[in-house]
Every structure is written in structure tokens, then in C-alpha cells.
């Protein structure tokens, strides 16, 4: 969590209170009678985006066909890795999805890892994950309509028998909901656990009559490896894998499409 950027006074004080809240609302716009909140999350998203775009521009500066720089090698490897992943998971005809998959993957990873700098993770805001999951849902639906037509899409709900209609609708809604909740739950849950650990270790230090909470040194870092680094990477990977599998399954099988 706040390992890297934890200011010294903050560290000396330790974690003395624990609150589980959503993001701060910076400003609220009233448009067409709706309350449009501009929250902390959006600002953090901008920071993440700036970092990713800056990285891309840095890596792709001065690309050459021959005698490539290390930066270019990294950029090429990244592009080829994600392209191969999409090809292997979705199939050759879905390669156009590569940039979108890369976008979600990078946004998720960097959005989660930003919590290492002592701020809220972008991905610990459920609305963000819901947005991404809804995008996946839209892509699934669009693919179904593209290959089956509107009639085929609607008929799919009564498959294999009309009685299944409610269950099919439920499963359709469950897909994005589950994806959003899984990702959100893991990241937000990890943050809460890390917060609890800081809080608990501070309390323990005070109980042992330490003025400075020495127990918060080291122990959280090890746990953070799992709850922040590993979990962040896993969730980003799971999210894009599910997106790819669901979208490509919404279309016909590879050989059918080729026929």
C-alpha cells in the first residue's frame, strides 16, 4: 500500500484509524438533472493514462528497422507478446481487438499499482471496473448481433428451451457483474487487508510500549508482494482473459467463420 510514499511523520504516527470509504468527490456537475460526480478516481486515471502514454511515446521514439535500441526492443516485445496472447486466445480473425485488450490490461495493472504510491487504486473503485465490464458486455453483445443478427441474438435467450429465458438473461447480466466484482473485490479487498495489517501492527507496537511502530517495517512489504503486486497482475490478466474468451465465444467457431 503506502509503502513507497509514506511520509515519515505518517510512519512515525502509525496507522491509528481505519476507515473503508469510496473515492473523494472533487466536484459535482448538475447536467440535465443528473448529479455527475468528478471524483478522485478520475484524476488518478488521468495520472495512470499520462504514465502509460508517456511510456509508449518514450519507448517508440526513433523506431528503426535495423540496429534497434533497447527501448524499441521492449516496445516490440510488448506489442508482440500481447498480439500473440490475443491470437492464441481468440484466434487470428480477432487480432483487431489487440489494442483494446492491451488498453484494459495496462490500465488495470497501472491503475492497481498506483496504490504503491500511497493513493487509492483506480481499480478499487467499483464504478471503474463496472465500466470496463460493461465494455466487455457491449463487445459480447455486438459480436453476437454481428454474427447472428438481432433475431439470432434474441432467439439465443430461449436456447435450448424457452423456459430457460430467465436463466439466460441472468447469465447474460452475471457475466459483466461477476467480472467487475471479481476485480474490484480482489484489489479493494487487498487494500483493506493491508490497511488492517498496518492498523494491527501499529496497535501491537503500542501495546509493546514502542513509541514508534517498528513492527510496521518489513512485515507489510512481504504481504504487499502478494496483495499488491501479484494480485494486481493476476486480476488484470484474468480480466483480459475473460474478455477475450467471452467475446470470441460470442462469435462462431474458427472453422465455421472460415467456411
Partner 1 sequence: MKLGFLSIDIGTILFSWINLMILFFALKHFLFKPVQKILSERQAAVDQTLKDAEDARARAEAAETEYTEKLTKAKEESAEMLRNAARKAQQRSEEIVAGAKAEAAGILQQNRDELEREKRRAESQLRSDVSGLAVMVAEKVVGREINQADHARLIDEFIDSVGDVQ
Q: Which residues here bind partner 1, judged by CB under 8 A?
A: 20-25, 28-29, 34-39, 41-42, 45-46, 49, 52-53, 56-57, 59-60, 63-66, 72, 75-76, 78-80, 98-100, 102-104, 106-107, 125-128, 130-132, 134-135, 184, 188
Nearer Cβ to partner 1, position 179 or 215? 179
Least Cβ distance, residue 182 to partner 1 (angstroms): 14
152 CB-near residues (< 8 Å, 6+ apart): 144, 145
For 59, other C-beta atoms within 10 Å of its C-beta total 18
Q: Residue 34 forms beta bridges with which residues?
A: 31
Pairwise CA distance, residues 11 & 199, whole Å: 11
Residue 120: all three cell numbers together: 487509492
Nearer Cβ to partner 1, position 12 or 69? 69
Least Cβ distance, residue 38 to partner 1 (angstroms): 6
**DSSP states along 175-200:** HHHHHHHHHHHHHHHHHHHHHHHHHH
Nearer Cβ to partner 1, position 79 or 193? 79
Least Cβ distance, residue 202 to partner 1 (angstroms): 22
Q: For cell 458486455, name the residue.
A: 137
Nearer Cβ to partner 1, position 36 or 217? 36
Cα→Cα distances 154→138, 157, 247, Å: 15, 6, 17
DSSP structure class, residue 212: S
Nearer Cβ to partner 1, position 52 or 116? 52
Least Cβ distance, residue 215 to partner 1 (angstroms): 27
Amino acid at each position: 500500500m503506502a509503502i513507497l510514499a509514506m511520509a515519515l511523520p505518517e510512519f512515525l504516527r502509525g496507522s491509528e484509524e481505519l476507515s473503508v470509504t469510496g473515492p473523494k468527490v472533487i466536484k459535482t456537475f448538475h447536467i440535465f438533472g443528473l448529479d455527475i460526480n468528478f471524483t478522485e478516481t478520475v484524476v488518478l486515471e488521468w495520472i495512470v493514462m499520462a504514465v502509460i502514454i508517456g511510456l509508449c511515446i518514450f519507448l517508440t521514439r526513433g523506431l528503426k528497422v535495423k540496429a534497434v535500441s533497447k527501448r524499441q526492443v521492449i516496445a516490440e516485445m510488448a506489442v508482440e507478446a500481447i498480439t500473440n496472447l490475443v491470437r492464441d486466445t481468440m484466434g487470428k480473425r480477432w487480432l483487431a481487438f489487440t489494442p483494446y485488450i492491451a488498453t484494459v490490461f495496462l490500465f488495470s495493472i497501472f491503475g492497481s499499482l498506483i496504490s504503491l504510491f500511497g493513493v487509492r487504486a483506480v481499480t478499487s473503485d467499483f464504478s471503474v471496473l463496472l465500466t470496463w465490464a460493461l465494455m466487455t458486455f457491449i463487445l459480447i453483445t455486438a459480436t453476437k448481433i454481428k454474427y447472428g443478427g438481432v433475431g439470432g441474438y434474441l432467439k439465443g435467450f430461449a436456447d435450448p428451451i424457452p423456459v430457460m429465458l430467465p436463466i439466460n438473461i441472468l447469465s447474460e447480466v452475471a457475466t459483466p457483474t461477476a467480472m467487475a466484482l471479481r476485480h474490484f473485490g480482489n484489489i479493494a479487498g487487498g487494500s483493506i487487508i493491508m490497511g488492517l495489517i498496518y492498523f494491527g501492527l501499529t496497535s501491537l507496537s503500542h501495546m509493546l510500549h514502542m513509541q514508534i511502530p517498528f513492527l510496521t517495517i518489513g512485515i507489510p512489504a512481504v504481504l504487499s508482494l502478494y496483495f499488491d503486486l501479484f494480485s494486481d497482475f493476476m486480476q488484470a490478466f484474468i480480466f483480459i482473459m475473460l474478455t477475450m474468451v467471452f467475446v470470441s465465444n460470442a462469435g462462431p467457431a474458427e472453422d465455421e467463420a472460415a467456411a
